[in-house]
Amino acid sequence: MQRGGSPSAFDRNLSTLLGEDGVEAILSNERQEEPIVIGIQGNKITRTPLSQCLEQTWAVADAIKAHDYDQALTLRGGSFKVTFNILRTLVRTFPHAPQPGQRRLRMAIMNAGGPAPGMNTAVRAAVRLGADRGHIMLGVNNGFRGLAAGEVRELDWMSVAGFASRGGAELGTNRHVPTGRDFYDIARTLEKHQIEGIMIIGGWTGYQSALALYNQRTNYPAFDIPIVLLPATINNNLPGTELSVGADTALNSIIWAVDKIKQSAVASRRVFIVQVMGHYCGYLSLMGGMATGAERVYLHEEGVTLNDMVIDVQKLTSGFKHGKRLGLMIRNENANEIYSTNFMAALFEEEGGKLFDVRTAILGHMQQGGNPTPFDRIFAIRLASKCIQYLEDQITNPDYISACIGQIGGKIEFQDIRDIPRMMDMEHTRPKNQWWMRLRPIERMLSQPGPRKKPG
């Protein structure tokens, strides 16, 4: 049963990118001295000599045969060994007792922004890993509104039981950014509970709020504590990271919905325009379109013109005249303020005449729901582990740095929160550099109609 079933969004897009790079490798003028293995490391497609891959595989087998299990874990890769050690901690029955004379730090965990699948997984990992190090872990309910209202409670080992697979946000979350009187109330809460560091799990609201607290340090000494930001948003529009917790689950929600939509049109001649979320970031649109075989993806990053839609109608008309039975368009919710989903549907319906009819599907908040995928769970745990270690180091460092964590290439790194405005397109709340836009030519190539067979 592990071999069967419909492939996830990650598997669909990974196989697409591997296949594309495989063709590029064959067609390139570079002479290959030996066969290569095309794979992915971190978030980047790589080419590795086959002999090197085989040597590493044999080395693992030899280490296991020699009962050198520590070496075998190391040879599997740095992240494998780290993840294995994290797993052993998370499934422990009880945390370690504090070391004699240990300073027990008081860390607060909270969510901010819209709900994202994987928030609960990150909270569970942070609480258990922090408690296992002997620290006092505090949970803040209802985001920054709750922090201002003093909704803080201590979390123990069992208070986060069952969080690993649960969707939603058990601590609660909202998009409130503190202003005015909020700062005074938050400062009182931090002082009352003697909070020495904060871990914020969430989206752009969390990043804005962290910057707001940082900028108010001179007015409120209680804010002079390290803050670490863990990216969790389906929009995948945050600085300092190429991926956010929750985006993979949202993509899977999109492809499962679109797969069913396509099946519903099997007996008709129909065009579907599917609107997905993402705010002003087209990540879900592009990756969802590539994973579902859409023939057109509309992005705010590129804009939409009337001429674009005229060309699309012409392609659809030509396709349906030659036997096409289904058309699929994926549209970012903010692709164009004037040319809405309903406008596009009306235009295509009118111009399509009797060749096809048009239906719309606005997926809405179903993309924020559901239990997190394995990818999002593992990613949330890895980031949470790094964040707790970072907070522990920074709280005891007089020259601490508040930071956001993220994966860049194959590495998990921290970025000073003071660099956030420099990395962001503040008007559209998305990073200035979006790695996934490099995949746009591949998506366009795959969506083109194939060569027509000549009559006879």
The answer to whether the pTM exceeds 0.85 is yes
Measured over the CA atoms of residue 50, residue 53, residue 56 and residue 61, the dihedral's sign is negative
pLDDT at res. 450: 58
Residues 410 and 355 grouped into a single domain: no
Domain end, chosen from 350, 369, 388, is at 369
Question: What's the confidence (pLDDT) of residue 234?
Answer: 96
Q: What is the maximum alpha-carbon separation in the chain?
A: 88
- We report the CATH number of the domain holding residue 315 as 3.40.50.460
Tell me: do 403 and 381 sit in the same domain: yes
49 plus 116 within the same structural domain = no
Q: Is residue 85 part of a domain?
A: no
442 in a structural domain: no
Amino acid at 252: N
Alpha helices, H only, 31-94: 50-65, 69-75, 78-90
Name the residue range of residue 305's domain: 256-369
pLDDT at residue 386, rounded to an integer: 96
What is the dihedral sign for C-alpha 417, 191, 380, 300? negative
Per the DSSP assignment, residues forming a β-bridge with 44 are 41
pLDDT for the residue numbered 453: 52
pLDDT for 102: 87
Q: Assess whether 49 and 136 both reside in one domain.
A: no
Nearest-angstrom CA–CA distance, 3 and 414: 37
Question: Per the domain annotation, does 446 fall within a domain?
Answer: no
Q: How many domains does the chain have?
A: 3
Kindly give the parts of the chain with pLDDT less than 70.
32, 449-456
Amino acid sitting at position 92:
R
Q: Give the span between the Cα atoms of 383 and 122, in whole angstroms.
A: 8
CATH number at residue 209: 3.40.50.450
> What confidence score (pLDDT) does residue 265 get?
77
pLDDT of residue 451: 55
361 pairs with which residues across the strands? 274
217 and 135 fall within a common domain = yes
105, HSE (Cβ side, Cα atoms, 13 Å): 25
Among candidate residues 344, 369, 394, the one where a domain is terminated: 369
Per-residue pLDDT tens for 129-139?
Answer: 999 999 999 99
376 φ/ψ sector (left φ>0, alpha ψ -120 to 50, else beta) = alpha
Q: 331 forms bridges with which residues in the sheet?
A: 275, 298
Q: In the chain, how many H helices and how many E strands?
A: 15, 15
In our burial notation (b when 16+ CB lie closer than 10 A, e otherwise), range 280-292 reads bbbbbbbbbbbbb
In 302-373, alpha helices (H): 306-321, 341-352
β-pair type (197-202, 152-155): unpaired
Please tell me whether residue 332 adopts helix, strand or coil conformation.
strand
Residues 6+ apart with CB under 8 A from 190: 222, 223, 225
- Supply φ then ψ for residue 239, to 5 degrees: -75, 155
On average, the pLDDT of the chain sits at 92
